[in-house]
Amino acid sequence: MSNESLKLEFKEHLINYLNLLDTTPEQINDDEALFGGDLGLDSIDSVELIVLLDREYGIKIKNPQEGRQILVDVNTIVAYIEANRTK
Amino acid sequence: MFVKAAKAISPQYTLDDRFLNGEFVDEVSPVYRAIEPDYSPLIPAGLLRRMGKAVRIGIGAGLPLLQEAGKVDGIILGTANGGLEDCVKFLNQIVEYDEGVLTPTNFVQSTPNAVAGQLALMSENTGYNSTHVNGSLSFENSLIDAAMLLEEKQQATILVGAIEEFSQYNYTIDKHAGRFREIPVSNSQLTKRLEPGSICGEGSSMFIVSNDATDAQVEIIDVAQVTSEDEKEVEATLIDFLIRNQVPADEVKTVALGRNGDARTDHFYTAISNRLTSIESTICFKAYCGEYRTAAAFGLYTLFQLSKHPLLDWNGNQLHFIGNYALVYNHFDGIRHGYILVKKLR
């Protein structure tokens, strides 16, 4: 899967898992901060994201420090998925 | 316990004047679904996207009342099933992901006390907070809890209410159990065409109650309940209830009955009506809201509205709150019966 296709797929999962009403993948910029930005995600969403990565890509994030560096924006997450996915 | 204000989200347009003006939703449908308002002025988008329907309709009816009432001393709600859709999703995830990592949102939203908790958070209320989950008598028990709390306090105001959301999963189970009909029927025909089963509904009804009668429309005098399949026992409970409250049966001239068109258990309503020998005004509230386990709260809502102004029935005739006393009588499955005795104050 190309990087662009993976980004689109991840954004669709993001919208679905976080129930981001009225948001389309096109409206989420790749370098837009997920937390503290316009999306308005919070700590519960970070747990939902960890569940998303586990279920969809077989990635387990156990270290909170590691999570802070990964769950920054779509670019950082997709890069991590490409490097670490098990499914 | 005096009722000062009420709001409901129901399968009718009860958040504006349309229901009161007799503009009813009258659709042939297997489920009478609650009509939800635009929540954006009330609920921040970040919160709304996580809320299941039970939480949304609970907040939608309850929060405006809390905002109008100012500081309240407690929030007491009743629900048989709470956020059932989220609960089913969560349980399915446990199986689907082999008891692995689970999303927190479905779990948080599915607990029955999520509604009262969210109402407290959003209104910054740190008072008494309780949710009664007692099947089809959940609302009656919420009222009893509220009455006890008001007895303890010199002057207090409480939000009390009930919520039930439609769940496809539970609907299927209930339908298999014979509670709901195979062939849909319109609201206006529900209680006229007696057949086995009823039509499923949903909704939330909320009330501001106080031990201060100022500006109150009605007083809830007492609440009773009985679990029985014996019609004589159900009648005897009513008579004892009236005696205990020193209200002669012929002084109850207005009734809100939970008739739901189910031919198998309609006789309880007939029996209760026959015991109250001087009924002049009857409102069958489930024609408006459908059958669900805490529908009695909508019955109280209709009586509250009736105490303020006449309502129209399905034929366009005016219904009035006649006399001083009224009764909400409801049962579920012909087993669990609730009685709410109401007095009109002005």
Whether residue B270 sits in one domain with residue B225: yes
Whether residue B185 sits in one domain with residue B243: no
Averaged pLDDT in 10-residue chunks for chain B of 346 residues: 98 95 96 97 90 96 96 96 90 87 84 95 96 97 97 93 96 96 96 96 98 95 98 98 97 98 97 95 97 98 96 93 98 98 94
Give the pLDDT band (50/70/90) at residue A83: very high
Written as six digits, the tokens of B310 are 């006449």
Whether residue B276 sits in one domain with residue B169: no
Give me the domains of chain A, ranges plus CATH numbers: 3-84 (1.10.1200.10)
Q: Which of B55, B95, B101 best tests the A interface by mutation, with the highest count of A CBs <10 A?
A: B101
Whether residue B196 sits in one domain with residue B68: yes
pLDDT at B265: 97
Whether residue B77 sits in one domain with residue B205: yes
How many structural domains is chain B composed of?
2
Residue entry with tokens 């499914």: A87
Last residue of a domain, one of B210, B244, B260: B210
Residues of B with CB under 8 A from a CB of A: 45-46, 48-50, 97, 100-105, 108
Whether residue B173 sits in one domain with residue B39: yes
Whether the predicted pLDDT of A21 surpasses 80 = no
Its pTM stands at 0.93
Instruction: Report the residue from A20, A40, A44 with minimal CB separation from B105.
Output: A44
Whether residue B295 sits in one domain with residue B175: no
Contact between A48 and B104 using a beta-carbon 8 Å cutoff: yes
Q: How far is CA B53 from CA B254, B320, B337, in A?
A: 33, 33, 27
ipTM for the complex shown:
0.78
Note whether B75 and B121 are within 8 A (CB): no
Classify each residue of B89-119 as buried b or exposed e, where b means 16 or more C-beta atoms within 10 Å of its C-beta. Answer: bbeebeeeeeeeebbebbbbbbbbbbbbbbb
Q: How far is B49 from chain A (nearest CA, A)?
A: 6
Whether residue B236 sits in one domain with residue B197: no
Cβ-based contacts of A14 with chain B (< 8 Å): none
Instruction: Report the residue from B49, B100, B108 with minimal CB separation from A20.
Output: B49
Report the mean per-residue pLDDT for chain A: 91
Whether residue B174 sits in one domain with residue B29: yes
Q: Which of A45, A57, A61 best tests the B interface by mutation, with the highest count of B CBs <10 A?
A: A45
Last residue of a domain, one of B210, B244, B265: B210
Residue of A nearest to B102 (CA): A51
Of residues B294 and A64, the one with the higher pLDDT is B294
Per the structure, the complete domain to which residue B243 belongs is given by 219-344
Contact between B97 and A42 using a beta-carbon 8 Å cutoff: no
Instruction: Report the residue from B45, B48, B101 with minimal CB separation from A51.
Output: B101
The average pLDDT across A31-58 equals: 90
Of residues B166 and A62, the one with the higher pLDDT is B166
pLDDT at B299: 98
Contact between B97 and A21 using a beta-carbon 8 Å cutoff: no
Query: Which of B343, B3, B9 has the alpha carbon at shortest distance from B202?
Result: B9
- Which CATH number do you get for residue B122? 3.40.47.10
Cβ-Cβ pairs closer than 8 A, A with B, add up to 29
